[in-house]
């Protein structure tokens, strides 16, 4: 991974870490459904404009089923779950819970693919579970009413991301930009019914509107472009090292802009989760020049 790609990786981690900040700001007022409908719609419109400039086609007739499946598990469902959790949980806790996705993926791969779990992976799963238990058990925010359901929702959202990754590995090949663009439109359609279940609690302020726009354009539209650029340059495995950096920024932004406390349990629990994720994924970040690898689906 050369210097340019390392900078892209850090920028992507900062953006995706910021998504938990923006959800925490806007979800209590807008509710999960309105927030996520706006997020995916703004992202879809932004990517549509980029697609026109780059002359990228969606080919909906050939890939609409794929867009719906991937859109549900990779965007609509987990986005709603994390937005639901954001009404109660701090941004820092959500960022760490989001990092458990590779662990769910390892368990899914073992069950679905009937592959034995290696000792390294098993150790990573144990460490990840211990880290989450430490973070959730000692963070004062998890003692609030409804926090248990919020934690479960965030973990289910991470599980959904792992289902999406497993599906993408076996699905027919679709151009990465089209994947991002198409799934935003299908997600916007799938989130619509949820608007009846989760009406907004109040009128948005200018700050909330700005957070929603940033969540859609920056954290979904621009972030996907950065992510698929990384996949194209360094491959999927190296690009997934963003998993280790995003929680760091999620904790940092929560402390800087929301005044969230960083206790010893936050640092230790997060570190244990990230070490466990490293064991599960087997990722080894190496600096230096590397030949570009072919792109693959997320």
The span from the CA of 48 to the CA of 52, in Å, is 6
Q: Which residue in this structure is represented by tokens 């948005």?
A: 204
pLDDT one-digit tens code per residue, 168-226? 878 888 888 898 999 999 999 999 999 999 999 999 999 999 999 999 999 999 998 88
pLDDT at 290: 41
Helix residue spans in the chain (DSSP H): 3-54, 60-71, 77-85, 91-98, 101-112, 119-138, 147-170, 176-191, 206-213, 223-234, 236-239, 242-258, 264-281
pLDDT one-digit tens code per residue, 83-139? 999 999 999 999 999 989 888 988 888 887 777 788 888 898 999 999 999 988 888
Instruction: Select the more confidently predicted residue: 141 or 89.
Output: 89
Give the Å distances, CA to CA, from 215 to 183, 223, 241, 292. Answer: 16, 10, 21, 30
pLDDT one-digit tens code per residue, 64-83? 999 999 999 999 999 999 99
Average pLDDT over every residue of 273-282: 84
* Residue 283 pLDDT greater than 70, yes or no: no
Confidence of residue 1 (pLDDT cuts 50, 70, 90): low
Average pLDDT score over the chain: 88
């Amino acid at each position: 991974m050369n210097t340019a790609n390392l900078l892209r990786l850090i920028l992507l981690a900062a953006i995706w870490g910021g998504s938990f900040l923006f959800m925490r700001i806007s979800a209590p007022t807008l509710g999960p459904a309105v927030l996520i409908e706006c997020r995916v719609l703004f992202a879809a419109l932004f990517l549509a404009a980029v697609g026109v400039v780059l002359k990228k086609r969606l080919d909906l007739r050939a890939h609409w089923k794929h867009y719906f499946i991937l859109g549900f598990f990779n965007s609509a469902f987990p986005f709603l779950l994390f937005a639901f959790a954001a009404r109660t949980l701090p941004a820092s806790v959500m960022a760490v819970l989001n990092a458990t996705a590779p662990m769910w993926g390892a368990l899914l791969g073992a069950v679905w693919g009937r592959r034995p779990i290696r000792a390294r992976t098993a150790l990573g799963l144990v460490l990840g579970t211990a880290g989450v238990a430490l973070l959730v058990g000692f963070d004062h925010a998890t003692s609030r009413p409804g926090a248990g359901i919020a934690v479960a929702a965030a973990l289910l959202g991470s599980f959904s991301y792992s289902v999406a990754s497993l599906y993408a590995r076996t699905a027919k090949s679709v151009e990465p930009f089209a994947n991002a663009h198409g799934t935003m439109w299908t997600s916007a359609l799938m989130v619509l019914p949820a608007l009846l279940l989760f009406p907004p609690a109040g009128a948005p302020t200018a700050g909330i509107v700005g957070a929603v726009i940033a969540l859609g354009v920056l954290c979904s539209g621009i972030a996907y472009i950065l992510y698929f650029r990384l996949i194209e340059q360094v491959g999927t495995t190296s690009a997934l090292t963003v998993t280790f950096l995003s929680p760091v920024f999620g904790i940092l932004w929560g402390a800087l802009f929301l005044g969230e406390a960083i206790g010893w349990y936050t640092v230790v629990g997060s570190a244990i989760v990230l070490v466990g994720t490293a064991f599960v994924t087997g990722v080894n970040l190496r600096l230096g020049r590397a030949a570009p690898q072919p792109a693959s689906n997320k």
